[in-house]
Structure 1
């Protein structure tokens, strides 16, 4: 079976986050942009992948079309054992474009699609192709967007708990916000604080000390630049709180640098950034060797979410991150949503388990 084509689909689904906002610098993000990677074969089977595209969907789409598609067309579809070698060669072929960022986002999309295809050919869900499932549903945490007002933060936290979520993550940078959330949710609910890389090491240590009594599960990416692993390790040691990072890291090589530096207690590979399922599994091996927790970065709604669920099904622990917002439509007909118990069911059909709704794709397609 050969790959006959690779297409990139830019889909943009509007959402409502209420009092919260989603920003990249000065720009407000008002829709969930995703680039779906469709891999077609001469046998009529289709594999679906996901390339990270928030803020940069046209760039990611171009990377898939200009870098990935020419590499993949005409290839024999590999089985599960053969995917790592194929992806290694593609990484080597494209290394002059850089080993991080957009190049790896596009590579991730192809890799996920190849795993989808391999599992469909085997007649198994992706998690069964990789190993033994330990969970049929994954507990979700509500990943709140930036709110700012402590009063509104408290209200939104309570609403999220009312919907069944068993854990909360903030995207805030003030201790007042952290304490408002803790007071609202009580002492027994895990609380995470994602800072998006704003502070120096000294500032991050001071912030950790300010927040310590609120007992956050971890501070996520408190330091700029995100690849300053030595400073992250220092914050972890001197700040007295666990540290999470990894959504901005690509390849197992960079994760090994991060983990061996002692920078984090919780590693956060993003399957649509890191290099796909293949690279994610390498990161898991390193993390398990070094005793580091895996808490994936996964606030997305395309095939990357499904891939994350399959990967988490293989582990006894770990939460799935879900943006706390109302989107206008769903590619999966609501089947990958959080249920009343705060869990998301792991798909059990062949491949990733679900096929994207073509009608939704066409309605929200950006030409």
Structure 2
């Protein structure tokens, strides 16, 4: 069976995050932009992937169309054991465009689609190809967008707990925000604090000390720049809190640099950024070898979210990240919603488990 085409679809789905807002530069973001990668074959099967887009969907689409599609068209659909070899060759072919960022986002989309195809050809859910599921449901934590106001943060945390979420993550950079969340959810509920790389090492250590009594499970990416693993390791040693990072890292190689530096207690590969399922599996193996916990970055809604569910099902523990918001539509309808106990069921259909709703794709397509 051969690959006949690779296409990138820009989908934009509006959302309502209540009092939260997300800003990139001067622009407020009120819709979920995703680039869904479609790989078609001469055997009639289609694989679906996901390339990180956020505020750069047209750029990611162009990377898929101009760099990735020519690498894949006409290739035999690889057997599962041969996908890593093909993906390494594509990485080698494209390395002069950069090993990280947009290039790797586009590679991630192709890789996910190839694993989806491989599992469909074998008539099994993806987890059967990568070790077999240890869990039928994955606990989800509510990932809140940045709010800023402690009273509003407390209200959103209470709402998430009522909806069943067993853990909360903030995107906040102040101690009043952290303590407001802790007071709202009570002791014993995991609370994570994602800072998105704002601080120097000295200031990050001071912040860790200041919010220690709120008992965060970890501080996520407290330091700028995110690839300064030596300073991140210093914050981990001197701040007294666990540290998580990795959503801005690509490839197993960079994750090994991070983990060997002692920078993180929790590694956060993002399957639609890191290099796809192939690289995610390598990162997870390295983390297990080095005693680092895997807690993936996954606040997205395309095939990458299904891939993350499959990847986490083969692990005996760990959460999945779910954006806390109301969406205008869902590619998977209501089949990946959080249940009353804060869990999301792992799909058992062939491949990633579900096919995207093509009507939703068409309705929210950006030409």
Instruction: Give 5+ residue unaligned stretches, structure 1.
Output: none
Task: State the secondary structure of the residue aligned to 1:130.
Answer: coil
1:365 aligns with 2:365: yes
Give the 5 Å matches for 1:230-245.
230-245=230-245
- 2:290 equivalent to 1:294: no
**Structure 2 counterpart of 1:165:** 165
Shift of 1:23: 1.6
Structure 2 CA distance for aligned equivalents of residues 26 and 147 of structure 1:
16
Partner of 1:352: 352
Give the CA RMSD over aligned residues: 0.5
How many equivalent residue pairs? 367
Q: Which residue of 1 aligns with 2:136?
A: 136
2:225 matches 1:225:
yes
In the TM superposition, residue 93 of structure 1 has moved relative to its aligned partner by 0.3
Give the structure 1 partner of residue 66 of structure 2.
66
Per-residue Cα deviation, 1:281-338 (whole angstroms, up to 9, x for no partner): 0000110000000000000000000000000000111100000000000000110111
In structure 1, how many angstroms separate the alpha carbons of the residues matched to 2:175 and 2:18? 22
Which one is further off, 26-35 or 90-99?
26-35
Q: 1: distance between equivalents of 2:247 and 2:72?
A: 26
Aligned to 1:183: 183
Written as runs of structure 1 = structure 2, the 5 A alignment for 1:82-101 is 82-101=82-101
- 2:36 is matched with 36
Q: Which runs of 4+ in 1 moved over 6 A?
A: none
CA distance in 1, matches of 2:239, 2:38: 45
Tell me the distance in 1 between the aligned counterparts of 2:166 and 2:25.
Answer: 30
Q: How far, CA to CA, are the matches of 2:340 and 2:366 in structure 1?
A: 33
Normalising by structure 1, report the TM-score: 1.00
Question: For the residues of structure 1 that align with 2:58 and 2:65, how far apart are their CA atoms?
Answer: 10
Secondary structure, aligned partner of 2:350: coil
Map of 1:315 onto structure 2: 315
Residue 113 of structure 2 corresponds to which residue in structure 1? 113
Counterpart-to-counterpart distance in 1, 2:209 and 2:264: 17
- Secondary structure at 2:129 match in 1: helix
- Distance in 1 (alpha carbons) for counterparts of 2:92 and 2:318: 32
* Corresponding position of 1:339: 339
- Quote the residue 2:212 is aligned against: 212
Indicate whether 1:265 and 2:265 are aligned: yes
Deviation digits for residues 57-111 of structure 1 (CA, Å, limit 9, x no counterpart): 0000000000000000000000110100000000000000000000000000000
List per-residue Cα deviations over 1:234-292 (Å, max 9, x = no partner).
Answer: 00000000000000000000000000000000000000000000000000011000000
Q: Secondary structure at the match of 1:331?
A: coil
Aligned-residue offset at 1:203: 0.3
- Aligned partner of 1:76 in structure 2 is 76
Q: Distance in 1 between matches of 2:339 and 2:25?
A: 33
Q: How far 1:26 sits from its partner (Å)?
A: 2.3
Gaps of 5+ in 2: none
3-state SS in 1 of match to 2:61:
helix
Using the alignment, how far apart are the partners of 2:359 and 2:352 within structure 1? 19
Whole-Å Cα distance in 2 between the matches of residues 27 and 251 of structure 1?
30
Deviations 1:95-134 (A, max 9, x none): 0000000000000000000000000000110001111211
Q: CA deviation at 1:25?
A: 2.7
Query: Which secondary structure state, in structure 1, belongs to the residue aligned with residue 211 of structure 2?
Result: helix
1:275 maps to which residue? 275
